[in-house]
Structure 1
Amino acid sequence: MKLSDFIDMFIKLRYLPYISGGKATWVMRCQNKPLAVLGIKKYEPDISEYKAKLLIENIELSEVLSAGSEKKIGFRYYAQEDYSSVYKKMKAECRR
């Protein structure tokens, strides 16, 4: 499964908590390294509107998880910060 397919799957499964107002920005991380930024517009029971920008290549999920001993993916909530601004910050963090 590719990383982008994994993102689609957990959005459809409603893994992330519902945020009042529906708009939210999340950063997917593995071993504290940002992998993707998600901008969610609607997150209702039957409808999801979101954008996802990968910060790494769209590789197989197994490659992401095999990169370290702690095989966990987590999400950091950035409230209703602008999705594009968070993406720019994370992109700069990846360059360091």
Structure 2
Amino acid sequence: MIVAVDRSSVAMGDDVSPHAMTVELSESSTVAEAVAYLRQRKYLASIAGGKATWVLEVNGRPSAVIAQQWAEPKFAMDPSTELGSLGPEVSLMFRYRAQIDPDDLYDTIEG
């Protein structure tokens, strides 16, 4: 299935290249696998200081927090959810939240 992916820019210089793209993943791929796939390919920008915080929205709903200083994301949804179960169109949007405390952000989206 084709998954729409986009992310916020982290700085003005980051705006020069487009971030929106599509990736082809199996319908049986999980949300966690899709995030791991994008992280392995360095889709999310790193920042100096090493504390970038991102919110992942799956089909417009806040679903996880990803922090540059964390080894793994923290999911507010079941990370084993298969992409195919999310509907015929799936979008993953990573919203940059600067260097705010990722644990506080996670508490906000989980609650």
TM-score higher than 0.5 here? yes
- Structure 2 CA distance for aligned equivalents of residues 20 and 63 of structure 1: 37
Shift of 1:10: 0.6
SS of 2:39 mapped into structure 1 = helix
Cα shift readout 1:17-40 (whole Å, capped 9, x = no counterpart): 222222111011033211111111
Matched positions, count: 82
The one of 68, 72, 79 aligned to 2:91? 72
- The one-letter code sitting in structure 2 at the alignment partner of 1:34 is P
SS at match of 1:38: strand
Normalising by the residue count of structure 1, what TM-score does the alignment of the two structures yield? 0.73
Once residues 32 and 2 of structure 1 are traced to their aligned partners in structure 2, the CA distance between those partners, rounded to angstroms, is 17
Partner residue, 2:44 = 16
Structure 1 alignment gaps of length 5 or more = 42-48
Alignment-derived partner of residue 25 in structure 2: none
What secondary structure does 1:23 align onto? coil
RMSD (Å) for aligned C-alpha atoms:
1.7
- Give the match's secondary structure for 1:51: coil
Q: TM-score of the superposition, structure 2-length normalised?
A: 0.65
Counterpart for residue 54 of structure 2 = 26
SS of 1:72 mapped into structure 2: strand
Partner amino acid, structure 2, of 1:62: G
Find the counterpart in structure 2 of residue 7 from structure 1: 35
- How much identity, in percent, do the aligned residues show? 29
Structure 2 unmatched runs, 5+: 1-28
**Deviates most, 17-26 or 80-89:** 17-26
State the AA in 2 paired with 1:60: E
| CA-CA distance at 1:70 after TM superposition | 5.7
Runs ≥4 in structure 1, deviation > 6 angstroms? none
Cα shift at 1:72: 1.9
- The aligned residue for residue 45 of structure 1 is none
